[in-house]
Amino acid sequence: MITKGSINGQLGCSAKCCLGEHSNCMGMEGAQLGVVEAKETRKKLEGARPYRQFLQALFGDTKESSMMLDQAQSKPIKLSTSHDIAPRVMPFVHQTVNTYGKNSFVWMGPIPKKEIFNKDQNFRRPSANPMIDLVAQGLSAFEDGKWAKHRKIIHPAFHLEKLKGMLPTFYQSCSEMINEWERLVSKEGSCELDVWPCLQTLSADVISRLNLEVAIKREGKYFSFCESKKKFTQQPSKVSLPTKQNKRMKKIYEEISVLLKGIINKREEAMKLGEASKHDLLGLLMESNLKEIREHGNDRNTGMSLEDVIEECKLFYLAGQETTSVLLVWAMVLLSQNQNWQARAREEVLQIFESNPPTYDTLSHLKVVSIFT
């Protein structure tokens, strides 16, 4: 549920007043509460601005927000003439601000009100919709002791020295993509290229190699799963419906879990035989988890279960794949708009690297390139 409205900073509104001018409540009890509080709010706001109230059952403005986002992203954006991207990336919030003013807010259900006003120093994670729970659970979904345990086990995999060893993987995947681009250009001398799917493949390939030391294809299971889940995370009402798309996603989810379980079991057997763990994220995670268990007298409850490790592997992939792709494509957009900076960045790369592969030390000398990334 989403509630939108505005707060007049000079009114000294109470907790009830902060429900806003446009309220959505779930169920009859919530609707009745909304009417009572709306009347109180109207009295407080009398003479301040026009007042409107709507009661929408079940999902509030979620459907409207999703439809506005789909409509906005279906049209190209003219970045060459405008840098006002809010109507595209957050159309619902943009419209709310335009309608109610700069003091507008977006409200998700009745629980945040209770938590914020009663526990001002204790902020809980918002509950994810069922589709996100299906896609991956892991560190980002946990709280309190479970979050602390998982973070302690995962943290060693991201120490600086471990990250330095991942650089060759980045270089290999990037080189393969550039070689493919050069092959396309060599046919005609020039070509028009949609870089977005290429960068999606690049980020997915890098994360897969870092996660499992396995390169993947665009038609792989993870790609199908990621592409299918995007629109459904914005439509929680459809998650439980036995649609063809939902059945397909759940089948892929099960296949991915079986695949990861098989890889993890093989690695556990290898570690028991004294073989060194691999230096991908899964290997580092399993090594850290085993160390934590041994430090507590082989009490497996102090470490992560097989299911926990599987969920963390999926989270590594899903949390990084799209965000990295978006970062890369946005950097390319900025470079194309500012060709003088593009020339400076190219000159810096050629001067520092020459014809040599990048190293961690040489990367630290990139000043111009770091502005865009």
Those residues with Cβ within 8 angstroms of residue 172's Cβ, 6 or more apart along the chain or in another chain: 209
Q: According to the model, what pLDDT value does residue 347 have?
A: 92
> What does the pLDDT average to over 119-123?
59
- Answer whether residue 83 is part of any domain: yes
Going 138 to 151 to 112 to 89, the CA torsion angle's sign is: negative
* pLDDT given at position 200: 85
Adjacent-strand bridge partners of 107 = 3
- Please name the amino acid found at residue 79: L
Residue 320: burial class (beta carbons within 10 Å; 0-12, 13-18, 19+): middle
Q: Do both 114 and 173 map to the same domain?
A: no
Task: Check residue 221 and give its pLDDT.
Answer: 53
pLDDT in tens, 285-295: 888 888 888 88
Average pLDDT over residues 337-355: 90
- Flag whether pLDDT at 273 surpasses 60: yes
Residue 45 has pLDDT above 50, yes or no: no
pLDDT of amino acid 348 = 92
Of the two residues 16 and 63, the one the predictor is more confident about is: 63
CA distance 147 to 129: 19
Take residue 264 and report the two structure tokens written for it: 């993890």
Residue 117 and residue 135 share a domain: no
Q: Are residues 186 and 118 in the same domain?
A: no
In a domain, 215, yes or no: yes
The residues, any chain, with a CB within 8 Å of residue 308's CB and separated by 6 or more, are: 138, 150
Question: Residue 18: CB partners within 8 Å, gap ≥ 6?
Answer: 7, 113
Stretch 162-181: mean pLDDT, rounded?
A: 85
Q: Which residues contact 155 (CB under 8 A, 6 or more apart)?
A: 288
From 64-73, 110-119, 232-241, 356-365, the region with the lowest mean pLDDT = 232-241
Amino acid identity for residue 53 in this structure: Q
- pLDDT confidence of residue 117: 60
User: Are 285 and 154 contacting, i.e. CB atoms less than 8 angstroms apart?
Assistant: yes
Question: Given pLDDT bands bounded at 50, 70 and 90, which one contains residue 364?
Answer: confident
Mark out the alpha helices in the chain (DSSP H runs). 27-44, 62-73, 86-89, 91-100, 111-118, 130-135, 144-154, 160-164, 167-188, 195-212, 221-232, 244-272, 281-295, 306-337, 339-353, 360-363, 368-372
Helix (H) or strand (E) holding 5: strand 3-6
Asked if the model's pLDDT at residue 34 lies above 50, the reply is no
Q: Give the CA radius of gyration of the chain.
A: 25
Tokens matching residue 284 = 């580092």
Q: Which long-range contacts (CB under 8 A, 24 or more apart) does 273-282 make?
A: 278/213, 279/162, 279/165, 280/209, 280/210, 280/211, 280/212, 280/213, 281/157, 281/210, 281/211, 281/212, 281/313, 281/316, 282/211, 282/212, 282/309, 282/313
> Domain residues for 56?
3-124
Please tell me whether residues 144 and 82 are part of one structural domain: no
> What is the count of structural domains for the chain?
2
Q: Are residues 235 and 280 in the same domain?
A: yes
Q: Which of 10-14, 158-162, 241-245 is most confident?
A: 158-162
What pLDDT, on a 0 to 100 scale, did the predictor assign at position 343?
92
In the structure, what pLDDT confidence band is assigned to residue 3 with cuts at 50, 70 and 90?
A: very low
CATH number, domain with residue 263: 1.10.630.10
Same domain, 63 and 152: no
d(CA 334, CA 342): 9
269 and 332 both lie in a single domain: yes
d(C-alpha 99, C-alpha 225), whole Å: 37
**Residues 206 and 226 grouped into a single domain:** yes
pLDDT surpasses 80 at 136: no
Q: What is the mean pLDDT of residues 312-339?
A: 83
Residue 27 maps to a domain: yes
Instruction: Using DSSP, state whether 107 is helix, strand or coil.
Output: strand
Token couple for 117: 């006003």
Considering the domain architecture, whether residues 117 and 157 belong to the same structural domain is answered as no
Residue 189 and residue 101 share a domain: no
Residue written as token pair 């493919």: 180
Q: For residue 109, what pLDDT band results from cuts at 50, 70 and 90?
A: low
Per the domain annotation, does 367 fall within a domain? no
Helix axes 195-212, 281-295, angle to 10 degrees: 30
pLDDT confidence tier of residue 14, bands split at 50, 70 and 90: very low
Task: Note whether 120 and 269 are same-domain residues.
Answer: no
Name the one residue in this structure whose structure tokens are 């493949």.
201
Least confident of 79-93, 215-229, 325-339: 215-229
Q: Is residue 139 a contact partner of residue 312, using CB atoms and an 8 Å limit?
A: yes
What is the reported pLDDT for 344? 93
Q: Categorize the per-residue pLDDT at 184 as very low, low, confident or very high, splitting at 50, 70 and 90.
A: confident
Average pLDDT over residues 6-24: 37
Residue where a domain stops, chosen among 124, 155, 188: 124
Does any domain span residue 198? yes
Residue 71: per-residue pLDDT: 87
- In angstroms, the CA 284 to CA 117 distance is 42
Q: Is residue 147 part of a domain?
A: yes
Q: Is the pTM of this model over 0.75?
A: no
Q: What is the mean pLDDT of residues 198-218?
A: 74
d(CA 135, CA 230): 10
Residue 353 domain flag: no
Beta carbons of 299 and 289 less than 8 angstroms apart: no
Q: Of the segments 36-50, 100-114, 159-173, 233-247, which one has the largest average pLDDT value?
A: 159-173
Of 92, 107, 124, the last residue of a domain is 124
Mean pLDDT over the full length of the chain: 71
pLDDT at 82: 64
Average pLDDT for 121-125: 62
Assess whether 101 and 85 both reside in one domain. yes
Q: Of all residues in the chain, what percent carry a pLDDT higher than 90? A: 3
pLDDT over threshold 70, residue 332: yes
Q: Which helix (H) or strand (E) holds 105?
A: strand 104-107
pLDDT at 283: 79
**How does DSSP classify residue 128?**
P
